[in-house]
């Protein structure tokens, strides 16, 4: 975009530009359903800075999307409730702010890309309308100016013939193109932080790579912070700087991306890596993880992973829950026996 010199986005009182972009501290979320209280997130903490990509990785139902929704402030309440912790944007705890202040943070400061663009885009409005809406409602632009900006955005995400396509409806785009529209929409107001919730899961493999590299490129150019949420170990390798592994609403391992692959420190991470089919191990039995993730209304005592763990001991089956042991700066694991897992002595 051409005129980034003027920052027109609304400012939030108390923001310190020196503070980290986003800090999540001891976040707790539960869902109150008829079947009982599901503890979706049980004290999650992490930090993202400008220009870096943090991947949050885990099975479906581990709480990674819920974390994203809690940060965005778009959790469905009821049934979802944030019961504790802080979400600090530039030092400001968003959970203590009014709905109106939080609304202005969305899209302006923190934007989100959703998994399935077909259902995430409104089927009855043109793509141009949905993009221009952001400029009209947040920047007070006219319809015509908004549409002009929409075309620029479509160009930015490399949609061919953007001028014509701007008046098409979402269902007229291919899956990959739709996800580009979704990306364009998230970038419209120059957010500082981008949350990408499984941005490529719904796409073909070849398209996945294109979308990921587009995302990485845009993130680098604009020095945004990015939270990449995924269940796919392959996707994160090229893009992420650091990885947090989530299991049953907790982070079980944190490490820079290289270390995770080279030397996992938690049995769950290790199992995830071993369940990726590898060409060099052709013909051998694939190591899938036994069993199922726990029911969040009845998380087992002790380490939540203990029923499926290869390294399980009696200590794992009783409280206290293993804390995140810091192994070295930047690497930690929530396993009592991390030494054994890593093969360290």
List of residues contacting another protein (CB under 8 A)? 58-61, 69, 72, 74, 76, 99, 103-108, 111-112, 114, 116, 119-125, 133-134, 137-138, 169, 171-172, 185, 189, 205, 208, 231-235, 272, 275-277, 288-289, 291-293, 295
Rounded to the nearest whole angstrom, what is the least distance from the CB of residue 19 to another protein in the complex?
21
Q: Measured from the CB atom, is 244 or 336 closer to another protein?
A: 244
For residue 179 the two structure tokens come to 């996800």
**Cα 158 to Cα 161: distance, rounded to the nearest angstrom:** 9
Q: Measured from the CB atom, is 125 or 325 closer to another protein?
A: 125
Rounded to the nearest whole angstrom, what is the least distance from the CB of residue 231 to another protein in the complex?
5
Residues 6+ apart with CB under 8 A from 312: 306
For residue 84 the two structure tokens come to 């504790």
**Cα 17 to Cα 7: distance, rounded to the nearest angstrom:** 14
**Cα 54 to Cα 330: distance, rounded to the nearest angstrom:** 12
Residues 6+ apart with CB under 8 A from 319: 301, 302
What distances in angstroms separate CA 273 from CA 6, 18, 287, 311, 330, one per listed residue? 46, 37, 9, 16, 20
Q: Measured from the CB atom, is 48 or 105 closer to another protein?
A: 105
Rounded to the nearest whole angstrom, what is the least distance from the CB of residue 329 to another protein in the complex?
29
Rounded to the nearest whole angstrom, what is the least distance from the CB of residue 93 to another protein in the complex?
19
Q: Measured from the CB atom, is 155 or 232 closer to another protein?
A: 232
Rounded to the nearest whole angstrom, what is the least distance from the CB of residue 341 to another protein in the complex?
18
Q: Measured from the CB atom, is 168 or 325 closer to another protein?
A: 168
Paired with 24 in beta bridges are 46, 87
Q: What are phi and psi of 229, to 5 degrees?
A: -100, 130
Residues 6+ apart with CB under 8 A from 156: 1, 184, 187, 218
Rounded to the nearest whole angstrom, what is the least distance from the CB of residue 275 to another protein in the complex?
4
Rounded to the nearest whole angstrom, what is the least distance from the CB of residue 339 to another protein in the complex?
25
Q: Measured from the CB atom, is 202 or 303 closer to another protein?
A: 202
Q: Measured from the CB atom, is 250 or 336 closer to another protein?
A: 250
What distances in angstroms separate CA 125 from CA 112, 129, 259, one per listed residue? 19, 6, 45
């Amino acid at each position: 975009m051409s005129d980034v010199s003027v920052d027109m986005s609304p400012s939030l009182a108390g923001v310190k530009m020196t503070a980290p972009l986003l800090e999540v501290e001891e976040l707790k979320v539960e869902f109150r359903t008829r079947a009982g209280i599901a503890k979706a997130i049980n004290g999650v903490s992490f930090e993202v800075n400008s220009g870096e990509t943090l991947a949050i990785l885990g099975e479906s139902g581990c709480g990674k999307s819920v974390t994203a929704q809690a940060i965005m402030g778009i959790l469905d309440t009821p049934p979802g409730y944030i019961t504790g912790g802080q979400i600090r944007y530039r030092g400001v705890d968003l959970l203590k702010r009014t709905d109106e202040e939080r609304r202005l943070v969305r899209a302006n400061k923190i934007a989100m890309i959703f998994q399935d663009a077909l259902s995430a885009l409104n089927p009855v409005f043109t793509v141009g309308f949905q993009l221009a809406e952001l400029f009209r409602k947040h920047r007070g632009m006219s319809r015509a100016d908004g549409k002009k900006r929409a075309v620029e955005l479509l160009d930015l995400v490399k949609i061919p013939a953007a001028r014509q396509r701007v008046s098409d409806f979402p269902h007229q785009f291919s899956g990959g193109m739709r996800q580009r529209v979704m990306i364009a929409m998230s970038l419209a107001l120059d957010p500082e932080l981008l949350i990408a919730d499984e941005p490529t899961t719904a796409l073909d493999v070849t398209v996945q790579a294109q979308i990921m590299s587009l995302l990485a490129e845009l993130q680098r150019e604009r020095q945004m912070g990015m939270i990449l949420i995924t269940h796919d170990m392959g996707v994160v390798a090229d893009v992420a700087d650091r990885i947090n592994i989530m299991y049953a609403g907790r982070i079980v391992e944190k490490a820079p991306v290289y270390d995770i692959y080279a030397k996992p420190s938690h049995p769950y991470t290790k199992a995830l890596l071993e369940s990726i089919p590898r060409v060099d191990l052709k013909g051998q039995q694939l190591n899938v993880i036994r069993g199922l993730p726990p029911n969040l209304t009845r998380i087992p005592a002790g380490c939540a992973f203990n029923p499926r763990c290869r390294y399980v001991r009696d200590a794992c089956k009783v409280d206290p829950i293993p804390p995140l042991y810091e192994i070295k700066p930047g690497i930690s694991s929530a396993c009592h026996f991390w030494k054994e897992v890593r093969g360290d002595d």
